[in-house]
Structure 1
Amino acid sequence: MTTFPLVLSAPSGAGKTTIARRLHDRRGDVVFSVSATTRAPRPGEVDGVDYHFVAEDEFRRMIGAGELIEWAEVHGAFYGTPLANVGQAAERGRFLLLDIDVQGARQIRAAVPEAVHVFILPPSGETLVQRLVGRGSEDDVRVQRRLKNALAEIATAAEFDHVVVNDDLDEAVADVNAVLEGRTGAMRPHPPLPRLTDAVRAEIERHLGSSV
């Protein structure tokens, strides 16, 4: 089987990181692309496993040295993908799984044309709100900022090769696994994308309006 980089993008709270971990756990030919970031570790995160946690000065040095294939500032912190990740996975015959935001996905699309891009959508805007609030790790201001960013991120879904709705975690993982196996015809159908994304965005906008 020919391997390729697989890019997963989604608004915060849609579940892309959980899907990525499930894929990694079930397949021996999938490796994580460990990103560099300047944000502080969350409880339970391990340096070098979840992220390479670096100071902003070090991150800027990596940019200047051409060590990042993509990078972006998201929610007040910097994130980037080390260039070495792509070559190392290809040499080992592994699928490189990149869990990144839509800004980074655009840079990967331009720099790594063989990459396949999947956008993860929540089943509804209310579900996204509940997941973000349920984390309990961020204050209301940060939750509101993530929801505002989600509006713009969801609007980019049509740019991706495939869209998966995370209404059922096991089914969503199976859909992404079908992409890896080249069985995209086995993916679950969803409503027309414009109708789906418009509905999700409308619910987020209603929540933001009610919280002002």
Structure 2
Amino acid sequence: MTGRLTVLAGPTAVGKGTVAAHIREQHPEVWLSVSATTRPARPGEVDGVHYHFVSGDRFAEMVAAGEMLEWAVVHGRASYGTPRRPVEEALAEGRLPLLEIDLQGARQVRASMPDARFVFLAPPSWDDLVTRLVGRGTESEAERAVRLETAKVELAASKEFDEVIVNDEVRRAAQELVSLMRSEKKTASEPTG
């Protein structure tokens, strides 16, 4: 039996990473993909746990060799991508695999893996999203402006997704996502006919 891939995407600062981190800590049955990126690590981020931090040259090599399931340049600055092999291995093992990626990446995955489940993580409101982005304190004023413009476009894409989960509380949103993934596995393993 093979698993079904779940893709979690949403606008910048909606809390995708926070929800994924909660799932990593509380739900060991879920396999979380670790993306590669060319951006520098933020305080507290660990190479190989939060991201694979690679050089621009190494990232380009991975793309050229077909090693990425999806990839994109995000906010015109850093490249992000999902290494293909670990995802394929998790699927072959029948695990509950989860990709936490941006909208561009989700669209690429849909093109190559249309059977995946696509989940959009939405903020409770626009004001809440702005507060989260400003409150992070990890971007300059100029970077925040770029991210907020990007977020407007990303929010409009929610209709492209199979499910929408509102991230009004991290634990609740994470549990809703894991419950959805478990129901998918149960449905996939039930006999037909």
- Matched residue, 1:176: 177
8 Å contact kept, 1:6–1:116: yes
Greater relative CO (CA pairs within 8 A, separation 6+): 2
Per-residue deviation, 1:137: 1.4
8 Å contact kept, 1:132–1:143: yes
Q: State the one-letter code of the partner of 1:22.
A: H
Give unmatched runs, 5+ long, in structure 2: 185-193
Equivalences for residues 59-74 of structure 1 within 5 A: 59-74=59-74
8 Å contact kept, 1:29–1:93: no
8 Å contact kept, 1:7–1:99: yes
Distance (whole Å) between structure 2 residues aligned to residue 135 and residue 145 of structure 1? 15
8 Å contact kept, 2:11–2:151: yes
Per-residue deviation, 1:2: 6.3
Name the CA shift for 1:3/1:176 in 2 (closer, same or farther; >3 Å): same
Helix, strand or coil: the match of 2:183? coil
Helix, strand or coil: the match of 1:155? helix
Q: State the one-letter code of the partner of 1:37.
A: T
Distance (whole Å) between structure 1 residues aligned to residue 180 and residue 36 of structure 2? 26
Q: State the one-letter code of the partner of 1:30.
A: V
Q: Is 2:66 aligned against 1:44?
A: no
Distance (whole Å) between structure 2 residues aligned to residue 148 and residue 38 of structure 1? 22
8 Å contact kept, 2:9–2:119: yes
- Corresponding pairs, count: 183
Per-residue deviation, 1:113: 2.3
Q: Is 2:58 aligned against 1:58?
A: yes
- Matched residue, 2:23: 23
TM-score in terms of structure 1 length: 0.82
Distance (whole Å) between structure 1 residues aligned to residue 169 and residue 58 of structure 2? 39
Q: State the one-letter code of the partner of 1:169.
A: V
Moved over 6 A (4+): none
Helix, strand or coil: the match of 1:21? helix
- Matched residue, 1:189: none
Give the % identical residues: 49
Distance (whole Å) between structure 2 residues aligned to residue 180 and residue 170 of structure 1? 15
- Matched residue, 1:140: 141
- Matched residue, 2:119: 118
Q: State the one-letter code of the partner of 1:46.
A: V
